[in-house]
């Protein structure tokens, strides 16, 4: 039998304390909680007596938190917010389905958020929460329902997840904005790109398999250090730079398909490198698949528009894998 949690303060006083500390006013706290000012004062006095130290300094001009009060306020406010969030999740209106999707910042910003309007139209009852983490192996399996990450075959996968490939065949292509080409001129060849154009280089451990050296080797061209580069340790930042016309970046054809379709990015050269990694759906294998997750899986795997790429017109269209959601309903 577990022991009783102690010591605890008088819990009914915490809301009064949080409101008074946040507003730095007993009067404002009383108005907010529909109590009298004297009731707020009594509750805070009781809390201070329980803790054995003052939480407020009182003078003719009003009240001010003591250093101990500041520390306690941050703690109480955080715990009350977590309690409110958990209560809201449990009492959420009937028919709402909450789904937490984990992904890298790049996949979340460049692909997932672009797909949300379609998802919300197809599954209007889903209540989506997005959790970003660069390395999926650092995720706590209890934190998410499904995850979307690029996975390299043979690379150590996160433990305790079932992986379903989404983009089984994808090309790594050179992309830039149309505005960049207007300003810098056309890209006529890989060697001309090295000599005359600004190339965007990612310096990131988790994207070390997406390098210009690998791309040049794959297309059969010698590589040397570009004459002009912009370097960053964030692939997401480099893609924003490409969209802003700052240079040419490497990108995945299907991940960037919405940008290529709308023309905010263009393919700078026809050469491509088959991607070493593929976008995959990761699902914790230790628990039952929720109704919200089943809806998302069905929508995602039924969305055939995401299974074709713009880079290779002669490439066979990926065949849809069997829909695991059919076995879950």
**196-230 per-position pLDDT tens digit:** 999 999 887 555 567 899 999 999 999 999 999 99
Kindly report the pTM of this predicted structure: 0.62
pLDDT class for 90, splitting at 50, 70, 90? low
Contact yes or no for 96/127 (Cβ under 8 A):
yes
pLDDT over 90, % of the chain: 59
Report helix, strand or coil for 189: coil
Q: What is the DSSP letter of 57?
A: E
Q: How far apart are CA 78 and CA 66, in angstroms?
A: 18
Q: How far apart are CA 38 and CA 136, in angstroms?
A: 52
pLDDT class for 309, splitting at 50, 70, 90? very low
Q: Which domains does the chain have, with CATH numbers?
A: 11-90 (1.10.10.10), 97-169+277-312+322-327 (3.40.190.10), 171-274 (3.40.190.10)
Contact yes or no for 54/91 (Cβ under 8 A):
no
β-strand pairing of 146-151 with 278-284: antiparallel
Enumerate the β-bridge partners of residue 128: 99
Q: How many CB atoms lie within 10 A of CB 10?
A: 14
Sequence-separated (6 or more) residues with CB below 8 Å from residue 109: 236
pLDDT class for 91, splitting at 50, 70, 90? low
Q: What is the DSSP letter of 60?
A: T
CB neighbour class for 225 (10 Å; exposed up to 12, middle 13-18, buried from 19): exposed
Q: How far apart are CA 132 and CA 128, in angstroms?
A: 13
Q: For residue 165, how far is the Cα from the chain centroid?
A: 19
Contact yes or no for 121/91 (Cβ under 8 A):
no
């Amino acid at each position: 039998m577990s022991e009783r949690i102690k010591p605890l303060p008088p819990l009914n006083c915490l809301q009064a304390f949080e409101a008074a500390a946040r507003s730095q006013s007993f009067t404002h706290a009383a108005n907010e909680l529909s109590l009298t000012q004297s009731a707020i004062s009594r509750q805070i006095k009781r809390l201070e007596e329980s803790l054995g130290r003052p939480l407020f300094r009182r003078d003719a001009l009003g009240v001010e938190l003591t250093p101990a009060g500041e520390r306690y306020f941050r703690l109480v406010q955080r715990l009350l917010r977590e309690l409110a969030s958990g209560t809201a999740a449990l009492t959420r209106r009937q028919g709402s389905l909450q789904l937490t999707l984990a992904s890298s910042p790049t996949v979340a910003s460049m692909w997932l958020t672009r797909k949300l309007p379609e998802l919300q139209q197809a599954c209007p009852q889903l209540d989506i929460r997005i959790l970003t983490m660069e390395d999926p192996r650092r995720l706590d399996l209890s934190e998410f329902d499904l995850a979307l990450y690029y996975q390299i075959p043979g690379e150590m996968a996160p433990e305790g997840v079932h992986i379903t490939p989404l983009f089984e065949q994808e090309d790594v292509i050179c992309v830039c904005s149309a505005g960049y080409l207007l300003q810098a001129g056309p890209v006529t060849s890989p060697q001309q790109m090295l000599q005359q154009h600004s190339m965007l280089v990612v310096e990131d451990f988790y994207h070390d398999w997406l390098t210009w050296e690998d791309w040049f080797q794959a297309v059969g061209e010698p590589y040397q250090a570009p004459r002009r580069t912009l370097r960053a340790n964030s692939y997401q930042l480099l893609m924003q730079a490409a969209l802003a016309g700052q240079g040419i970046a490497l990108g995945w054809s299907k991940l960037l398909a919405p940008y290529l379709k709308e023309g905010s990015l263009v393919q700078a050269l026809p050469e491509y490198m088959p991607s070493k990694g593929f976008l995959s759906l990761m699902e914790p294998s230790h628990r039952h698949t929720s109704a919200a997750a089943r809806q998302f899986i069905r929508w995602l795997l039924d969305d055939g528009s995401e299974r074709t790429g713009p880079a290779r017109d002669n490439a066979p269209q990926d065949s849809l894998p069997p829909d695991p959601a059919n076995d879950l309903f």
